[in-house]
Amino acid sequence: MDIETLRRQIGGDVVTEGEAGFATARDGLVWNGRKPQAMPRVIVKAASTADVQAAVRYAAAHGYRASARSGGHNWSGIAMQNGVAIDLSALDAVSVDREARIAEVGPAAKNLALAIALTAEGLAFPVGHCGDVAMGGYLLGGGFGWNEGTWGAACHLIDRAEVVLADGRAVMVSETEYPDIFWALRGAGPLFFGIVTRFWLRLMPLPAAMAVATWTYPLARVAEVTASMKRLANVLPGHAEVSLSLAAAPPAAGLGDAKFATVILTAYAASMAEITGIATHLGDMLPQGVIVHNAPSRIDFATLYGLVDQRFPDGARYGVDCLWSADADATFAGLARMIAQAPSARSNAIGVIYGRNSALHRSLPDAALSVVGPVCGIVHGTWSSADEDAANLAWLRDGMDALDPVTTGRYVGHADLARQGRMEACHSAKARADLAALARKYDPQAVFAGRTVQDMAEAPAAIAAE
């Protein structure tokens, strides 16, 4: 199959290196303002599953690697390689079957769009914490989202999926159809050996009330705040999500350039009265001397995403890493030191403790998602210009290296995959071995990249379907 045959076979567009519009299409594949230097030879803007099949067959016939881009926060330069990049952004449909409590979604459907569609039907799903992240990479990585303490990881609510394999076949996978592929797509992330073109998701009833409350302290008091959060983690219900934000205050807060530790309660319940009771109990257990306290305020997903997404503006340059740990004190202290020393005032960190009442504290179902911990830490380095890259990346990597002694694993959706050992830390040894065996079975020619990722400043391999 030559390129003109590919153009005739698909309903979408094909752009090749050197053609008008290629540079724009290439840069559009990467949300991160820090663009990689490597580029694909061909960009296929798929309009259907059949288009994806044709693109994969073309890549295989020419010895190219294929990778997919479904949208969202592609920190590591997704789909930028010397091969075929398959842009899935047109596959963003959302359809909800209220009676069956099933949603059919395309890989490019965004968290916010799905949440709005489900809310209209009185239903819900553990959508991700950022509204403009797409389902493809979110679900393949595992998916830690809103109300995860009750509903668990999002990938465990996948009912079935349509997957294009390396030979161009489109197959349905579920617990009973290709169960080995179904096992893999729930958490394999970059190591998945196919492209998902549709998901069917099991849904939950929409909680009658959602609300957010906050307590803000000086960053220097992070140890006291951590001690309180450790006590709270094992007494609060799973539907009370408590996180620690370490960052400068938004300009509108009028608090200047100082850095703060803010405890955030996001709760889901049968009534606002229940949430108010949870917030009162939480506030009583937190340290005295709060700088700013915002009492529980009813919120919907659209408003919630507006609050979160302002931290992640389009076009900014990002460097991101994360860790699982069992030591909240050392983890949160290390994150606080990083934020205090950050070259950019826009950088931030998030810490979470999963207590005994959280679904994530229990044993994971059997799937490729195989590494979690009771403590999670995520650092988002955020800056504006290329001449700041070196300083910010050095800060990020030195700070995370200092946390290595308390690190028990990584989450593939936020790990700095350019670094040695990061990918290996995202899955258990058994899961890695099983994924490698399945890749040899279903993708013996390695049509789908995803074995390693080099630094964005060099030539990264693509990560399948983020």
Per-residue tokens: 222: 């992070």
pLDDT at 463: 30
Please indicate whether the domains covering 94-206 and 209-409 agree at the CATH topology level. Answer: no
Beta strands at 292-298 and 348-353: parallel, antiparallel or unpaired: unpaired
Supply the pLDDT for residue 38.
67
Q: Which CATH code for domain 94-206?
A: 3.30.465.10
CATH number of 3-87: 3.30.43.10
Number of neighbouring beta carbons within 10 Å of residue 400: 23
Stretches in the chain below the pLDDT threshold 50? 78-79, 451-466
pLDDT at 182: 99
In the chain, domain spans? 3-87, 94-206, 209-409
What predicted TM-score, i.e. pTM, was given to this entire model? 0.92
Looking at the domain 209-409, which fold is it?
Vanillyl-alcohol Oxidase; Chain A, domain 3 (3.40.462)
Tokens at residue 281, please? 């109990």
What's the pLDDT at 33?
Answer: 67
Cα angle 176-444-17, degrees, rounded to a multiple of 5: 110
Q: According to the model, what pLDDT value does residue 455 have? A: 35
Report pLDDT for 440.
Answer: 95
C-alpha angle 316/318/320, rounded to 5°? 155
Vertex 339: Cα angle to 338 and 342 (nearest 5): 80
| Residues constituting the chain | 466
